[in-house]
């Protein structure tokens, strides 16, 4: 990916047009879904790269508010993303992209009926420390700090019941939960 986000259509496709609504623009919420998919399949670095690119794109917009969609050219020192004409700002699913990108990097997998929050955090070098406050899991509220220690990500529950939070391998846990739900 050499743009600030994955485009709706490959630049190699004959119909590619970065100015067009569906044939080359970048949609932040689509990118967040892609990042979460990468994380769930074990590609944490790829998920973090998407989060970085979308965050960098947001820095070019007023108040860091992501528009519904934007144009992104090949990246170099002279290019920057441009809001699509008519794109809504703020826009709910674009704003929600930030939360899903954070979920992908932190590997949040809530299991509210069982009062559990599984985490598989992998903070990238560009985001060495992150604290999540007032995170609700069922009827519980948590503050959790995450930080890098070398290539690993550590965490500490700084408010709330630490027994609710459990480190896991998200790929294995999703497979386990899917298998368990198949029997229902």
Strands 82-83 and 70-71: antiparallel
Written as six digits, the tokens of 56 are 């960098």
CA 175 to CA 154: how far, in whole Å? Answer: 24
Q: Average pLDDT of 34-58? A: 96
CA 108 to CA 153: how far, in whole Å? Answer: 13
Written as six digits, the tokens of 131 are 């604290």
pLDDT for residue 20: 86
The neighbouring-strand residues paired with 102 are none
Q: Residue 42 half-sphere exposure, CB side, CA atoms within 13 Å? A: 5
Q: Average pLDDT of 63-71? A: 93
Q: For residue 47, give its domain range.
A: 28-101
- Flag whether pLDDT at 1 surpasses 60: no
- Provide the number of structural domains found in the chain: 2
- The answer to whether the pTM exceeds 0.85 is yes
Query: Is residue 143 within 8 Å of residue 131, measured between CB atoms?
Result: yes
pLDDT for residue 54: 95
- Flag whether pLDDT at 59 surpasses 90: yes
CA proximity to 106, closest of 115, 118, 94, 93: 118
Average pLDDT score, the chain: 92
pLDDT for residue 183: 66
Q: Which helix (H) or strand (E) holds 31?
A: helix 28-40
Q: Average pLDDT of 32-47? A: 96
Residues 37 and 91 in one domain: yes
Residues 54 and 73 in one domain: yes
Q: Identify whether 6 is part of a domain.
A: no
Residues 80 and 127 in one domain: no
Q: Identify whether 8 is part of a domain.
A: no
Written as six digits, the tokens of 129 are 């420390």
Residues 92 and 123 in one domain: no
Q: Average pLDDT of 162-179? A: 91
Written as six digits, the tokens of 5 are 């986000």
Written as six digits, the tokens of 147 are 């930080």
Residues 178 and 118 in one domain: yes
CA 152 to CA 133: how far, in whole Å? Answer: 21
- Flag whether pLDDT at 184 surpasses 80: no
Q: Average pLDDT of 7-30? A: 90
Q: Average pLDDT of 68-85? A: 87
* Coil vs helix vs strand at 152: strand
- Flag whether pLDDT at 180 surpasses 80: no
Q: In what order do the strands lie in the sheet with 152-159?
A: 129-137, 140-149, 152-159
């Amino acid at each position: 990916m050499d743009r600030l986000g994955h485009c709706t259509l490959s630049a190699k496709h004959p119909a590619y047009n970065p100015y067009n609504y569906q044939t080359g623009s970048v949609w932040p919420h689509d990118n967040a879904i892609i990042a979460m998919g990468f994380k769930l399949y074990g590609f944490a670095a790829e998920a973090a790269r998407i989060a970085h690119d979308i965050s960098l794109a947001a820095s070019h917009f007023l108040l860091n508010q992501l528009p519904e969609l934007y144009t992104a050219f090949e990246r170099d020192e002279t290019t920057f993303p441009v809001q699509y004409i008519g794109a809504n700002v703020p826009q709910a699913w674009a704003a929600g992209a930030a939360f899903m990108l954070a979920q992908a990097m932190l590997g949040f997998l809530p299991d509210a009926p069982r009062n559990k929050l599984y985490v598989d955090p992998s903070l990238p070098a560009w985001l060495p420390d992150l604290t999540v406050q007032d995170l609700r899991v069922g009827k519980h509220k948590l503050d959790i700090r995450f930080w890098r220690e070398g290539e690993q990500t550590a965490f500490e529950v700084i408010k709330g019941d630490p027994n609710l939070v459990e480190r896991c391998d998200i790929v294995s846990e999703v497979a386990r939960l899917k298998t368990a739900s198949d029997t229902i």
